[in-house]
Amino acid sequence: MLDQNIYGGIFWIFVLAVYSVFIFFITKRLYDFMIKKNFKQNVAIYFNRKFIHIFAGGVIVLAVPFVFSNPWYPLFSGIVLAIFLLIAHKTGRILYWFQTKDNINDVSFCLMWGLAIFILWWIFGNPWIAIIPPAFIAFGDGITGIVRNIAFKERKKHIIGNIYMMGVCIPIGYYFAYASTPSIPQWGVIAAIVASFFERYEFGIIDDNILVTIGATVILYIGGILGPIHF
């Protein structure tokens, strides 16, 4: 992990922000392409949302342990992006190629992304355990949405998505929990299973991004306190 002062942190926030804008630009072009190919609008939007999950939220979270020296920078980044997306919703100027008027899940994604990293990194002093929950909502929920969109051509909760999510999240949870301090790979697997289960549920404004992140964070906190599971 790089040593850095505040200027280094700001530099990397700027670099990753530019990368995020680039991904947003790419998805706008992708939306136009899908519409020209007669994709339904909701299908194109949902594909783009999951594309952003993986290539913005996911790629950037993998960079966090290498470019940031403390959890304040990813927390700040997540909050700023959440505010930006919320403003787009509240002003009625949604980014139509991946946002919809009927939910603000994109806002909760950014907020929970930053909060999970901050909380676990602050508690355990290690970024590897901290990036596990946001990796779940980025890569796990991302592949879940893509599979369901292909299968049903709409945003639809179905167990097939949870199965694919589990297949993605278990190796993520195991590897990064193994690399963390304390090394708790079995708890990473348990967190992946819990996250994949919670993804299927939403309760009003408590969407799957919130449930997945909280569920995984709680499991990893318990695992970090109790230590490795020995068979």
Give residue-wise pLDDT tens across range 166-209.
999 999 999 999 999 889 999 999 999 999 999 888 887 889 99
State residue 1's pLDDT score: 43
State residue 2's pLDDT score: 46
Residue 145 maps to a domain: yes
- Tell me the mean pLDDT in the region 95-118: 94
State percent of the chain over pLDDT 90: 75
Residue 203 maps to a domain: yes
**What's the number of domains the chain is made of?**
1
Q: Which two tokens stand for residue 61?
A: 């979270």
Residue 12 maps to a domain: yes
Q: What is the pTM of this model?
A: 0.92
Residue 1 maps to a domain: no
State residue 231's pLDDT score: 63
Alpha-helical segments (H) within the chain: 6-36, 41-52, 59-67, 72-90, 105-124, 127-130, 132-135, 141-152, 159-179, 185-198, 208-226
| Residue 145 domain boundaries | 6-226
State residue 48's pLDDT score: 95
